[in-house]
Amino acid sequence: MAMIDPPAAEEQPYGAFAPKPFLARIISRTRAAPDNFLGRKSAYALRRIGLRSLEGTPVDIDALGAKMRLYPDGNVCEKRVLFTPQYFDPIEREMLASRLRDGFTFIDIGANIGAYSLFVAAQAGRGARILAVEPQPEIFARLAFNIAQNPFGTVKAVACALADKPGELTLFIDTVNRGESSVRILNSSNAKAIKVPAMTLLSLVQGEGYERIDAIKLDVEGAEDIILEPFLRDAPPSLWPGFIIIEDSRQRWQSDLAGLLTRNGYKLVGQTRLNLLFERKRA
């Protein structure tokens, strides 16, 4: 089977790339694997077999409560969501789900193909408002496609980067793992640079007419500080998010972002292998 170009694949209706029986059996087994050493070892071995059988083609499947078309070759996020969604940030998603309420507002920065956004949409009901922000053109097309396959009507995709000032910036694309792309220079021989539009988080929020943000997720490969610092400086506290999931990039941040959050009333309520979780009680 030949590799299918993503733009050509997106012209096909959802279901055109339903998993064949052999792959479906592998996916069923990897998704049923327990979260322990032996379970993960078995799931990852089967996942390698499943990836080889795909030969670069996408898969149409339900994951995290939503319909998605996933391209697991070249994007770790899509690989995890396809084969082992039970291992995809389970603590983060559980804590996020426990904070849902009527009219929930969520901003997904570095949305990738929409796993977090669609998970929240599936859980939060029709009163939610969700912004999925993704600057990579090819990944944004996948994100938009996935949003369109679902009936939620609560997710809006935004094709831009967020930064400390508006304009245009250079985004370094990691072609081996699209989820590692960043406005920070990558230490990878596989990176290519493109120009993308940028705006500040505050201008995005104000432009969308948000009066509060219940939760926010930032996964932008070390550039979280250049988004959050100016926002906390310039935005009124009424707009500060109540709950934050932020990629743990303390080795790459140019300032003490965790300390800044603590000084502004946030408490570290969780820490996983990949992320820090902060919460601020509203007055």
On the question of pLDDT at 142 being above 50, the answer is: yes
- Are 120 and 153 members of one domain? yes
pLDDT tens sequence across 113-138:
999 999 999 999 999 999 999 999 99
Q: Using CA atoms, how far apart are residues 179 and 144, in angstroms rounded to an integer? A: 16
Instruction: From 39, 67, 87, give the residue that closes a domain.
Output: 87
- Are 208 and 72 members of one domain? no
pLDDT for 2 equals 44
pLDDT for 176 equals 55
On the question of pLDDT at 179 being above 60, the answer is: no
pLDDT for 1 equals 38
- Are 104 and 203 members of one domain? yes
What percentage of the chain has pLDDT greater than the value 70? 90
The parent domain of residue 168 ranges over 90-279
pLDDT for 180 equals 52
CA 13 to chain centre: 23
Instruction: Name the least confident of 26-35, 95-104, 215-224, 257-266.
Output: 215-224
On the question of pLDDT at 184 being above 80, the answer is: no
Q: How confident is the model at residue 104 (pLDDT cuts 50, 70, 90)?
A: very high
Q: What is the mean pLDDT of the chain?
A: 90
pLDDT for 281 equals 83
Q: Is 44 part of any domain?
A: yes
On the question of pLDDT at 145 being above 90, the answer is: yes
pLDDT for 193 equals 82
- Are 49 and 30 members of one domain? yes
**Cβ proximity of 68 and 81 under 8 Å:** yes
pLDDT tens sequence across 19-65:
999 999 999 999 999 999 999 999 999 999 999 999 889 999 999 99
- Are 203 and 119 members of one domain? yes
- Are 52 and 127 members of one domain? no
Instruction: From 42, 65, 87, give the residue that closes a domain.
Output: 87
Q: Using CA atoms, how far apart are residues 160 and 111, in angstroms rounded to an integer? A: 11
Q: How many CA atoms lie within 13 Å of 61's alpha carbon, on the beta-carbon side?
A: 23
Instruction: From 38, 57, 87, give the residue that closes a domain.
Output: 87
Q: Is 1 part of any domain?
A: no
Both tokens assigned to 10 = 């997106």
- Are 123 and 161 members of one domain? yes
- Are 28 and 158 members of one domain? no
Task: Say what the alpha-carbon torsion angle 20, 35, 85, 125 is, to the nearest 10 degrees.
Answer: 130
Q: Using CA atoms, how far apart are residues 14 and 2, in angstroms rounded to an integer? A: 19
Q: Is 61 part of any domain?
A: yes
User: Under DSSP, is residue 105 helix (H, G, I), strand (E, B) or coil?
Assistant: strand
- What is the mean predicted confidence (pLDDT) over 230-251? 96
- Are 154 and 248 members of one domain? yes
Q: Which residue has the higher pLDDT, 171 or 105?
A: 105
- Are 72 and 193 members of one domain? no
- What is the mean predicted confidence (pLDDT) over 219-229? 91
